[in-house]
């Protein structure tokens, strides 16, 4: 890295803007973060219930395929033909007996082994592969796979710690709170392309400070407010984090003066959106961010995986998979679907986020030499019993700097 | 003859003409950002959904945008006007290929293609969303209103945010 890549001496209370736009930084992130020693979320098992079912997805920007084989193992392979690199799988979801690359019809089994090469022995004794060409050496590249309670993660790195250790005890407990072993049911997908660096998405969801200010909708209906009981939690490395809040008394206080966006007399004509039922113990909202590509959303009864797919330094795709449990009754499913209106590309709340992330990129992109201030709640990072803090973002960058050697 | 009866007796060409006018009025209302008038195109107990085609075809129930009553449409308008934070934009909608499937259960079933173009400040106009309207209309107060309007969109990847109705 050149001299222009010097992190400000204040440490993680400053975020240099070159990290959001520099192509060299982006390339290093792909190598060290997404292809490095990290467990990337790729799918829910409920998306591939039967042998042969597959899902096409991405890790960082690299295309991969997740597939269930005849032995019920889940395999994750690069979506890149071992012959000349064709991205052979083009469907989002489907079911196959084997994968065949359309270009020269090399065929792979569900574990990624190469099982067929047309004209391998030539045609009329002419051509063909060299005699020592061994199918075994030319399978699809397989990734490491970890599963827990119906959620599938994959890694390009070989000797990675088990998923449970990777999460750490506090994040594992939050994970198991939603994924308690019950069978899941996929309710649908939503995908959006946001013209912003992928880290801005993590900053946003690790930032409880903005929620009480930017999101007039949330504030007006008391769904998330700075005066609610809340806390932030991180793992020991700082790479994972969670914003947690629960409903408490909402009294008018002087702090309201700072929440200018609060519209006290704003009422919904149709309040079905705001009729959650208590489903999980203790907390009403838990937003968990798992390094390096996953946000687990539990906003009352709406549950979703938000998978981050990078699309160059200045864009990312957010792939939402909404789900419930296989044993949900009709009312619960309806509730989940209604509350889904808060989130997603048309969400009452998350519209603000996607728009603001774009505003961020258009501010930080042209000013790589400048830096942002991240001092709310201190200059270090630790768990807090409130949400007036940028602690979780500082933790994220503390870990980011280590991995990136910045 | 009551208005409802009149609609029932219209031949398909005249009916299509009525529908062309209705869709022109509908898109003009939205294109001109007269959002407060938008719910008036619907009956009280209505369903308005914007759904990615992949969910629709797989039978997955999730909608990107769901309104289950006229009041809910009005709430969306309140959000657009009062709570949502977003960059200024123009959205223009084109409707074509209006097809009448016929009356079913007292409802007129209609299909049409739509394209929504979006213009943001520092960018060229782009195709923002395209898909098919699958509509069911009923006669109320002497005119056709939407009982159900589904916008099933082909453009799976939403360019950032979907703020205005389609
Ligand atoms: S590139 Fe796949 S078979 Fe040739
Ligand atoms: Fe937010």
- Give chain A's domains with CATH numbers: 40-147 (2.102.10.10), 168-404 (3.90.380.10)
Query: By the CB < 8 Å criterion, does A210 face chain B?
Result: no
Answer whether residue A126 shows pLDDT above 70: yes
On the question of pLDDT at A260 being above 70, the answer is no
B124 to chain A, closest Cα gap in Å: 15
Q: What is the per-residue pLDDT for A220?
A: 80
- Chains A, B: CB contacts within 8 A come to 121
- B31-65 pLDDT, tens digit each: 999 999 999 999 999 999 999 999 999 999 999 99
With 90 as the cut, is the pLDDT of residue A261 above it? no
pLDDT of residue B95: 98
A4 pLDDT above the threshold of 80? no
Environment class of B153 (CB within 10 Å of its CB; exposed 0-12, middle 13-18, buried 19+): buried
* B160–A358 CB contact, under 8 Å: yes
Position B78 pLDDT exceeds 90: yes
Mean pLDDT of A128-143: 97
- Nearest C-alpha to atom 3 of ligand 1 is from which residue? A104
- CA–CA min distance B71, chain A (Å): 5
Average pLDDT (B142-154) is 97
pTM listed for this prediction: 0.95
* Chain B contact probe: residue of A262, A318, A351 with most B CBs at under 10 A: A351
What confidence score (pLDDT) does residue B43 get?
A: 98
Looking at beta carbons, which pairs linking A375-383 to residues 24 or more positions away fall under 8 Å? A375/A13, A376/A209, A377/A209, A379/A10, A379/A11, A379/A12, A379/A13, A381/A12, A381/A234, A381/A238, A382/A234, A383/A231, A383/A232, A383/A233, A383/A234
What is the model's pLDDT at position B1? Answer: 63
Taking only the tens place, the pLDDT of each residue in A182-205 is: 999 999 999 999 999 999 999 999
CB-based contact, A265 to chain B, within 8 Å = no
**Averaged pLDDT, A277-297:** 94
> Is B79 in contact with A340 (Cβ distance < 8 A)?
no
Of A33-37, A251-255, B70-74, B113-117, which range is least confident? A251-255
A111 lines ligand 1 (CB under 6 A): no
Find tokens 């995986």 and name the residue: A305
In the predicted model, what is the mean pLDDT of chain B?
95
pLDDT digits (tens, 9 = 90+) for A21-53: 999 999 999 999 999 999 999 999 999 999 999
Transcribe A79-90 into DSSP letters: SS-TTT------
pLDDT for residue B113: 98
State the Cα–Cα distance between residues B33 and A23, nearest whole angstrom: 40
pLDDT over threshold 60, residue B97: yes
pLDDT tier at A3 (50, 70, 90 boundaries)?
A: low
Distance CA A279, CA A273 (A): 16
Q: What does the pLDDT read at residue A254?
A: 57
Residues ≥6 apart with Cβ < 8 Å to A134: none
Mean pLDDT for A59-82 is 98
Of all residues in chain A, the percent with pLDDT exceeding 90 is 85
pLDDT in tens, A207-229: 999 988 999 888 887 666 677 88
CB neighbour class for A343 (10 Å; exposed up to 12, middle 13-18, buried from 19): buried
Q: Percent of chain B scored above 90 by pLDDT?
A: 90
- Cα–ligand 1 centroid distance for A101 (angstroms): 6
Q: What is the mean pLDDT of residues B87-92?
A: 98
Q: How confident is the model at residue B9 (pLDDT cuts 50, 70, 90)?
A: confident
Helix (H) or strand (E) run with residue B162 in it: none
The torsion angles phi and psi of B59, rounded to 5 degrees, stand at: 70, 20
Neighbour-count burial of B47, counting CB atoms closer than 10 A to its CB (0-12 exposed, 13-18 middle, 19+ buried): middle
Least confident range of A129-133, A267-271, A346-350, B25-29: A267-271
Name the residue with tokens 């945008």: B65
Q: Is the CB of A140 under 6 A from ligand 1?
A: no
Percent of chain A with pLDDT over 70: 94
Residue A253 — pLDDT band, cuts 50, 70, 90? low
Q: What is the pLDDT of residues A352-403, one digit of tens each?
A: 999 999 999 999 999 999 999 999 999 999 999 998 999 999 999 999 999 9
Residue A252 confidence (pLDDT): 53
Phi then psi dihedrals of residue A369, to 5 deg: -80, -10
Query: Pairing relation of β-strands A40-44 and B89-104?
Result: unpaired
Backbone angles phi, psi at B50, to 5 degrees: -115, 120
Please give the average per-residue pLDDT across B62-79, as a whole number.
96
Q: Is B45 exposed, middle or buried (0-12, 13-18, 19+ CB in 10 A)?
A: exposed
Q: What is the pLDDT of residue A336?
A: 97
In which band, very low, low, confident or very high, does the pLDDT at A249 lie, cut at 50, 70 and 90?
low
Residues 74..113 of B with a Cβ closer than 8 Å to A: which? 74-75, 78-79, 82-87
Top pLDDT among A356 and A276 is at A356
User: Of B5-14, B30-39, B157-166, where does mean pLDDT reach its minimum?
Assistant: B5-14
What pLDDT is stored for residue A320 in this prediction?
A: 98
User: CATH number of the domain at B3-153, please?
Assistant: 3.10.450.50
CA distance A105 to A116: 8
Closest approach atom of ligand 1 to CA A85: 1
pLDDT score for A2:
58
Predicted pLDDT of residue A171: 98
Mean pLDDT of chain A: 94
């Amino acid at each position: 890295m050149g001299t222009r890549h010097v992190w400000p001496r204040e440490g993680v209370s400053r975020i240099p803007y070159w990290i959001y736009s520099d192509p060299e930084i982006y390339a290093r992130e792909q190598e060290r973060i997404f292809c490095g020693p990290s467990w990337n979320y790729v799918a829910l098992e409920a998306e591939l219930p039967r042998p042969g079912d597959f899902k096409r997805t991405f890790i960082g920007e690299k295309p991969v395929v997740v597939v269930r084989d005849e032995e019920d193992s889940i395999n994750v392979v690069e979506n890149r033909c071992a012959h000349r690199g064709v991205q052979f799988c083009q469907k989002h979801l489907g079911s196959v007996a084997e994968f065949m690359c359309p270009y020269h019809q090399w065929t792979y089994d569900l574990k990624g082994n190469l099982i067929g090469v047309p004209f391998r022995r030539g045609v009329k004794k002419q051509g063909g592969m060299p005699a020592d060409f061994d199918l075994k050496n030319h399978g699809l590249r397989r990734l490491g796979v970890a599963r827990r309670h119906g959620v599938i993660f994959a890694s390009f790195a070989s000797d990675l710690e088990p998923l449970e250790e990777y999460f750490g005890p506090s994040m594992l407990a939050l994970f198991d709170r939603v994924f308690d072993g019950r069978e899941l049911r996929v309710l649908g997908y939503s995908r959006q392309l946001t013209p912003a660096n992928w880290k801005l998405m993590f900053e946003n969801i690790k930032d409880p400070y903005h929620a009480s200010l930017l999101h007039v909708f949330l504030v007006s209906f008391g769904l998330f407010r700075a005066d609610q009981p809340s806390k932030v939690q991180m793992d020991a490395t700082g790479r994972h984090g969670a914003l947690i809040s629960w409903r408490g008394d909402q009294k008018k206080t002087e702090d309201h003066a700072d929440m200018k966006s609060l519209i006290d007399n704003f009422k919904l004509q149709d309040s079905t959106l705001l009729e959650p039922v208590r489903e999980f113990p203790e907390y009403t909202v838990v937003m968990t961010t798992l390094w390096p590509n996953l946000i687990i959303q539990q906003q009352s009864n709406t549950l979703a995986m938000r998978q981050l797919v990078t699309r160059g330094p200045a864009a990312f795709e957010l792939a939402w998979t909404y789900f419930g449990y296989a044993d949900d009754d009709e009312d619960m499913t309806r509730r989940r679907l209604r509350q889904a209106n808060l989130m997603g590309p048309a969400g009452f709340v998350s519209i603000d986020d996607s728009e603001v992330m774009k505003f961020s990129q258009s501010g930080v992109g042209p000013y790589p030499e400048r830096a942002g201030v991240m001092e709310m709640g201190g200059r270090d990072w630790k768990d807090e019993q409130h949400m007036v803090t940028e602690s979780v973002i500082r933790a994220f960058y503390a870990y980011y700097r280590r991995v990136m050697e910045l | 003859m009551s208005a409802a009866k009149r609609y029932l007796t219209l031949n398909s060409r005249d009916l299509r003409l009525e529908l062309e006018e209705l869709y022109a009025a509908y898109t003009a209302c939205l294109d001109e950002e007269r959002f407060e008038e938008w719910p008036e195109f619907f009956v009280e107990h209505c369903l308005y959904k914007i759904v990615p085609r992949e969910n629709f075809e797989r039978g997955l129930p999730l909608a990107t945008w769901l309104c289950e009553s006229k009041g809910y449409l009005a709430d969306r308008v309140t959000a657009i006007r009062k709570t949502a934070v977003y960059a200024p934009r123009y959205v223009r909608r084109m409707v074509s290929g209006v097809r009448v499937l016929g009356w079913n259960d007292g409802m007129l079933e209609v299909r049409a293609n739509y394209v929504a173009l979006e213009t943001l400040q520092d960018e060229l106009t782009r195709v923002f969303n395209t898909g098919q309207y699958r509509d069911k209309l009923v006669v109320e107060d002497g005119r056709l209103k939407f009982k159900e309007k589904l916008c099933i969109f082909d453009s799976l990847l939403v360019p950032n945010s979907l703020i205005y109705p389609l």
